């Protein structure tokens, strides 16, 4: 039994989970046959998928260094995924050892693995909650224990918003989170898109998964930054957001936008 009352045998292994598909594409071991089959289907219709998820992860690392380098000491990472080294708190603490991180995911398997990795700490928490209920995230005692909403926060929504459909009102969700953040806070966001190659086949792989995928174009992704000012270079394909290494092969096809923005007063 986990701390949240989930039994290991209740973890759904009959349908692919986004967190476990992503883990498999990243070369991780925390996945089941059903996830591996979905990930292989994804890679067959989107041949750059493995490179794309690595590039998304590399974007997240550069973005975290940027926001911590800008002085932020608290990170709210929603849709954190299965622990993947280096994790957000490890990256952040290379720059500033006092950074506090609240991790949030709606997948019990993510929480179980993260609990085992993080243990009890006053500087990190792992919370089982759903982005579609942003008030529940903001009010969760284990978020409040780590995050002080009177001080700037970096909100990470990295490769999660495409798991919200229009019916989930993703713009309202992001606006609710934005309104809880003080000036000087940051939004770090990446999002799947079909702007650079036809990704309808990749999207279809998620039809059987526990969350479906909504690809969005540049204008739709940019709308999530309402109320924030994008830092240079604005919204970019993830390998081209402040690169610190030559772009990986097939970068021009990578279907993830990434951007970092600051909330001004
Ligand atoms: C593709 S992974 C991204 C992991 C990490 N942010 C990264 O980019 O490396 C997406 C994560 O979002 C989580 N997720 C999907 N929908 C969610 C929701 N409505 N609320 C909370 N987490 C969600 C999944 O369980 C998964 O762990």
Per residue in 134-165, pLDDT (tens digit) is 999 999 999 999 999 999 999 999 999 999 99
Q: Atom 11, ligand 1: which residue's CA is nearest?
A: 79
Q: Which atom of ligand 1 is nearest to the CA of 190?
A: 8
| Residue 130 alpha carbon, nearest atom of ligand 1 | 20
How many angstroms separate the CA atoms of 244 and 188, rounded?
Answer: 17
Confidence of residue 119 (pLDDT cuts 50, 70, 90): confident
**Mean pLDDT on 120-133:** 93
Cβ-in-10-Å burial (0-12, 13-18, 19+) of 232 comes to exposed
Which of 76, 106, 71 has its CA nearest to residue 89? Answer: 76
Q: Which pLDDT value is given to residue 12?
A: 82
Cα distances from 16 to residues 84, 207, 237, in angstroms, run 19, 10, 26
Please work out whether the CB of residue 61 comes within 6 Å of at least one atom of ligand 1: no
Q: Is the Cβ–Cβ distance between 70 and 186 less than 8 Å? A: yes
Find the mean pLDDT for residues 111-125: 89
Closest to 216 in 3D by CA, of 176, 265, 262, 163 = 163
Q: What is the pLDDT of residues 16-57, one digit of tens each?
A: 999 999 999 999 999 999 999 999 999 999 999 999 999 999
Q: Give the pTM.
A: 0.96
> What's the token pair of residue 160?
């999660």
The atom of ligand 1 lying closest to the CA of 156 is 6
77 C-alpha vs ligand 1 centroid, how far in Å? 10
> DSSP H helical segments within 151-240, as ranges?
170-179, 200-205, 218-222
- Residue 10's pLDDT is 62
Over 50: is that where the pLDDT of 6 sits? no
| Distance separating alpha carbons of residues 137 and 178, to the nearest angstrom | 13
User: What is the tens place of the pLDDT at every residue in 159-206?
Assistant: 999 999 999 999 999 999 999 999 999 999 999 999 999 999 999 999
Q: Please indicate whether residue 177, judged by its CB atom, sits closer than 6 Å to ligand 1.
A: no
Kindly list the domain boundaries of the chain, sorted by start residue. 14-262
What is residue 169's predicted lDDT score, i.e. its pLDDT? 98
Pick the CATH number of 14-262 from 3.40.50.150, 3.30.1490.20, 3.20.20.80, 3.30.9.10: 3.40.50.150
Q: Is 173 in the pocket of ligand 1 (CB under 6 A)?
A: no
Instruction: Tell which atom from ligand 1 comes closest to the C-alpha of 164.
Output: 19
Closest-CA residue, ligand 1 atom 27, reads 81
Residue with tokens 């759903």: 130
Digit-coded pLDDT (tens) for 69-95: 999 999 999 999 999 999 999 999 999
Q: What kind and span of H or E run contains 67? A: helix 49-69
For the cut 50, the answer to whether the pLDDT of residue 2 exceeds it is no
For residue 118, the model assigns a pLDDT of 86
Q: Residue 28 has what pLDDT?
A: 96
For residue 99, give every residue at least 6 positions away whose Cβ sits within 8 Å of its Cβ, in sequence order, or none: 68, 72, 73, 74, 75, 89, 92, 93, 123
Predicted local confidence at residue 4, as pLDDT: 45
User: For a pLDDT cut of 90, what percent of the chain falls above it?
Assistant: 91
Choose among 75, 100, 104, 102: nearest CA to 173: 104
* Helices first, then strands: H and E counts in the chain: 10, 8
Q: Is 113 left (phi over 0), alpha (psi -120 to 50) or beta?
A: alpha
Sign of torsion over alpha carbons 265, 69, 186, 181: negative
pLDDT of 3 above 60:
no
pLDDT of residue 11: 75
């Amino acid at each position: 039994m986990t701390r949240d009352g989930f039994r290991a045998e209740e973890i759904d292994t009959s349908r692919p989970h986004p967190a476990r598909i992503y883990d498999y594409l990243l070369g991780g071991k925390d996945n089941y046959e059903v996830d591996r089959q979905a990930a292989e289907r994804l890679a067959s219709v989107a041949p750059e998928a493995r490179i794309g998820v690595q590039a998304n992860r590399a974007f997240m690392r550069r973005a975290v260094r940027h926001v911590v380098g800008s002085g932020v000491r608290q990170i709210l990472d929603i849709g954190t995924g299965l622990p993947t080294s280096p994790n957000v708190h490890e990256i952040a603490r290379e720059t500033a050892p006092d950074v506090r991180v609240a991790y949030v995911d709606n997948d019990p398997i993510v929480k179980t693995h993260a609990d085992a990795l993080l243990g009890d700490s006053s500087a990190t928490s792992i919370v089982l909650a759903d982005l579609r209920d942003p008030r529940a995230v903001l009010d969760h005692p284990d978020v409040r224990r780590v995050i002080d909403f009177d001080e700037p926060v970096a909100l990470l929504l990295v490769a999660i918003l495409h798991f919200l459909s229009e019916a989930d009102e993703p713009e309202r969700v992001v606006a609710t989170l934005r309104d809880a953040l003080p000036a000087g806070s940051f939004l770090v966001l990446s999002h799947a898109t079909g702007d650079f190659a036809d990704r309808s086949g990749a999207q279809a792989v998620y039809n059987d998964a526990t969350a479906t995928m909504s690809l969005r174009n540049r204008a739709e992704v940019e709308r999530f930054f309402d109320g924030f000012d994008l830092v240079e270079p604005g919204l970019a394909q993830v390998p081209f957001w402040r690169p610190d290494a030559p772009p990986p092969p097939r970068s021009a096809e990578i279907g993830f936008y990434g951007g970092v923005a600051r909330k001004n007063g």
